[in-house]
Amino acid sequence: MTDTLRNDLFLRALLREPTPRRPLWLMRQAGRYLPEYRATRARAGNFLNLCTNPELACEVTLQPIDRYGFDAAILFSDILTVPHAMKLGLEFEAGEGPRFERPVRTPRDIDALPVPDPHIDLKYVVDAVALIRRELRGRVPLIGFAGSPWTVGTYMVEGGGSKSFAHIKRMMYEAPAELHRLLDVVTRATVLYLNAQIAAGAQAVMLFDTWGGILTPAQYEEFSLRPMAQVVAALTREADGRRVPSIVFTKGGGAWLERIAAIGCDAVGVDWSTDLATARRAVGGRVALQGNLDPAALYAPPDRLRAETLRVLDSYGPGPGHVFNLGHGITPDVDPERVAVLVETVRNYVPG
């Protein structure tokens, strides 16, 4: 790529380099809270069509950049594209979320799993990354992403979302070697997938570990953190003459921030249940931090939202290494004007 990056605050912050202000982006910043997104999705017909159409994925990726001027764009996709490419029969049911027609629950199911070639089986994602990078024209960096092996594996075994996680936890206790075999396949697929995104133009990558927080500390180490460490260790480290930073985010992982920081990633995402000052002490300057406003704060009146935003900014304290974000994804029923208040507050923040 030959485009000159005009705003690299996000990348610099991830590498704990000084920046003149705090960079920000929001998880799920391209989404249902935006009327322009809803219009594009209506044209697509359904969510999966939107994800698998590079032109439409590019369109919705750029919408929040055009509206708010965030400091990073994130590829519009889904964490279940990898198992979708494994031919498990992914569907998104209205009001029900993702469902797999063929869950993975037996040794034979695991034996049958292919490792998708991202340039063939996930070409629509690679093409979307290249198109988005081209259309950004150096305005801001582009983030690529994948689900963590544990999180993706959980969906594959459960067959969709779950409250009890009975199938994956049964496998974990009854047949841990089989679960490790499954996670190994997903880990290898995730490495290929993320490195293909980097080759296509992603300038940072993020692992979303949505379900790591349901585990005990020992289970987290074995089944979630270890596969993520394997992914991070195998990532392409440099592209276009600069480092490609990696971010690891475990929802509900506040107790394990120090251990996450030790796996070699450049930044750790923090959810809203941990104060950033506490998180900063835990990681000891080893990594940057990303987060961590409660997404529900966007329901607050503007003055209260400003106060909550400033509290998060103040909690990190002075010095480099902070990317402002929510502690999880923005919810669909948020007023877009509240997001504008949030952006303005972060942009104008002056540390005390």
| Closest by CA position to 292, among listed 327, 253, 331, 254 | 327
Identify the active-site residue in 12, 22, 41, 306: 41
Amino acid at site 130: A
Given the residues 8, 71, 78, 121, select the one marked as catalytic.
78
> What DSSP line would sit under 287-307, residue for residue?
SEEEEEE-GGGGGS-HHHHHH
The question of whether 28 is a catalytic residue gets the answer yes
Catalytic site includes residue 78:
yes
- Give the Cα-Cα-Cα angle 83, 161, 235 (nearest 5 degrees): 40
Identified catalytic residue from 33, 37, 68, 155:
155
Active-site choice (32, 38, 102, 188)? 32
Coil/strand/helix, residue 6: coil
CA distances for 255 relative to 109, 208, 250, angstroms: 34, 17, 10
Here the tokens at position 152 are 């993706």
**In this structure, which amino acid lies at residue 170?**
R
Phi-psi sector, 71: left (phi>0), alpha (psi -120 to 50), beta: alpha
Distances in whole angstroms, Cα of residue 329 to Cα of each of 15, 32, 333: 23, 11, 12
**Is 3 one of the catalytic residues?**
no
Active site residue 155: yes
Q: Which residue among 28, 133, 139, 280 is the active-site one?
A: 28
Query: Which residues are part of the catalytic machinery?
Result: 28, 32, 41, 78, 155
